Amino acid sequence: MTEQRVALVTGSSSGIGAAIASRLSAEGMRVVLNSARSAEQGRELADSLADAHYVQADISDVDQANRLVEAAVERYGRLDVLVNCAGTTKVIPHSDIAAVTPEVWQRILGVNVIGTWQMSAAAAPHLAKSGAGNIVNISSVAGSRPVGSSIPYAVSKAAIDHMTRLLANALGPDIRVNSVAPALTETPWTRDDPFFRAVADKVRQGTPLRRVGTDTDVAEAVLAVLRMDHMTGAVLPVDGGARLV
């Protein structure tokens, strides 16, 4: 009998990360969930899944990132999949340059870019032993278009997409590295935010599929990427055609 694969999903106590963790669990994987905060919510989700474990850690801190990977391997003895979903932003109109302080840049890049790098670097030796190691980064259409909740956020997603290509080249053939790039996605966090509600109205009116994405859409895309054995260094848009307009 083939041993169950193990997936570590950062930022998975709610929203897109929780949907991904739940989908991978339903697919038969053992899953390690994570968040920097919302620990109670993360533990409750882990308890609801077939074979899951929650670890609280802030991936922007290198020691905590390393500890998170170590905890996953200690718990299950292996690591096959890393989904870098943890991220942060701050809603700032792109024209409001003065509001984008160094602290804003440091926080967003620290989690979205440096955190993704630290997790990938820590996980790589274990993923290479898997025989079918995968890293899937959750990016955004803001990484390739002049949109997004703020300029630092969009820049961070562009960096993630290029990091994906660079790591795919560096880590093959042992590890495949790809990005999934959603457009606006409805989650409990975005649903009640005025900025996201306004953007959602534009999406429904002006994109080919005339609807906002869901966390389930993103989770299914991650699973599809994991099944595509001959795909690496790719950025898969899950945007309802938003990139076309």
Annotated active-site positions, please?
153
- Distance of CA 174 to CAs 98, 120, 191, Å? 45, 14, 39
Q: Output the CA torsion 37→117→76→134 (10° steps).
A: 120
Cα separation, 5 vs 132, in Å, equals 10
Cα separation, 147 vs 185, in Å, equals 14
